[in-house]
Amino acid sequence: MTTPSIAAPLPFGMRILYAIPLFGHIARDVSRDVNNVFYALVVLATSVLMAVKLWGLVALTVTALAFVPLMFVFFVCITWPYPSRR
């Protein structure tokens, strides 16, 4: 008789991420297969294009406004000083 394997519990941060309705589903898919990120990016780009076609420049402006905090985080990450290795 074989015993069933018990999976290790997830860390607290992963449980919180998986509990968020939209991001959790995408995060679980990406943890299984990394290529799902590219599918999600195609869906995001398509939805932005459809919104621009439907609502015009307003949808593009709102999308750009939503990406402003992400760009600030990106700029901080790329300019963060690394400790020197001697």
Ordered per-residue pLDDT tens for the chain, 86 residues: 566 667 778 888 888 888 988 788 888 888 888 888 898 889 899 999 999 999 999 999 999 999 999 999 999 999 988 876 66
Give me the number of domains the chain comprises. 1
Would you call 24 exposed, middle or buried from its count of C-beta atoms within 10 A (0-12, 13-18, 19+)?
Answer: middle
Would you say residue 84 lies in a domain? no
Would you say residue 45 lies in a domain? yes
pTM listed for this prediction:
0.61
Domain hosting 20: range is: 12-79
pLDDT of residue 26: 84
Would you say residue 6 lies in a domain? no
